[in-house]
């Protein structure tokens, strides 16, 4: 196993663990639905931010709710590609970032695969619970995907010719 793949797999595993443990906490502590002072539906934090449980069967911003299975399959394929890129990479930072994006994608894939009802293939809703009040509700997996993707974009400008980047492989 290459050093890049070893790093990416470790980051992926840690990312999935923290994503799933926080989602389990949110489901055990919060009630889905509108926030109310008479229920435990939300936990207020600061500056309007709060923990607020919601389920998303679609993609970003709840778009494409009938295509959840497709997003799940794409997340799985994307994760395999990212781990392949990590295997080929000589850049440790890229390997970490590939692992972050793969961990986030697999965390949301796990929700679609294991948190749904029995009505269909990959029919589960992604558990979201971080609500800033001015942005759609999201989760730790979403943070990993966004931070990892931005990091890969920024690091691609700093890459040396022998580094493997997503653009070179595609």
21-76 pLDDT, tens digit per residue, is 999 999 988 887 777 666 667 888 888 898 999 888 766 655 556 666 788 899 99
pLDDT of the residue at 163: 56
Q: Is 46 within the bounds of a domain?
A: yes
β-pair type (50-56, 126-131): antiparallel
Q: Is 170 within the bounds of a domain?
A: no
129-161 pLDDT, tens digit per residue, is 999 988 888 999 999 999 999 999 998 876 555
Q: Is 164 within the bounds of a domain?
A: no
Q: How far is CA 160 from CA 78, 80, 81, 153, 165, in A?
A: 24, 24, 21, 14, 10
User: Catalytic residue at 19?
Assistant: no
The vertex-104 CA angle with 98 and 110, nearest 5°, equals 130
Exactly one of 117, 128, 131, 162 is catalytic; name it: 128
Q: Is 99 within the bounds of a domain?
A: yes
Q: Is 169 within the bounds of a domain?
A: no
Number of independent structural domains in the chain: 1
* pTM: predicted TM-score of the whole model, two decimal places: 0.83
Whether pLDDT at 120 is above 70: no
Q: Which helix (H) or strand (E) holds 48?
A: none
Assign 1 a pLDDT band (cuts: 50, 70, 90).
confident
79-106 pLDDT, tens digit per residue, is 999 999 999 999 999 999 999 999 999 9
Domain that holds residue 82: 3-157
Q: Is 168 within the bounds of a domain?
A: no
Q: Is 88 within the bounds of a domain?
A: yes
Exactly one of 31, 142, 162, 163 is catalytic; name it: 142
Q: Is 165 within the bounds of a domain?
A: no
């Amino acid at each position: 196993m290459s050093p890049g793949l070893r790093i990416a797999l470790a980051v992926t595993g840690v990312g999935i663990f923290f994503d799933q443990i926080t989602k389990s906490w949110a489901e055990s502590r919060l009630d889905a639905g509108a926030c109310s002072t008479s229920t435990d539906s939300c936990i207020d934090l600061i500056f309007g931010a709060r923990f607020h449980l919601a389920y998303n069967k679609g993609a970003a911003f709840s778009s494409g709710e009938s295509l959840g299975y497709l997003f799940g399959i794409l997340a799985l394929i994307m994760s395999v590609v990212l781990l392949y890129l990590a295997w080929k990479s000589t850049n440790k930072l890229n390997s970490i970032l590939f692992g972050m994006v793969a961990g986030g994608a697999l965390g949301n894939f796990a929700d679609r695969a294991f948190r749904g009802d029995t009505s269909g293939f990959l029919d589960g809703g992604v558990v979201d619970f971080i609500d800033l009040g001015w942005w759609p509700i999201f989760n730790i997996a979403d943070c990993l995907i966004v931070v990892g993707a931005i990091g890969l974009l920024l690091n691609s400008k700093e890459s040396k010719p022998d580094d493997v980047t997503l653009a070179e492989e595609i």
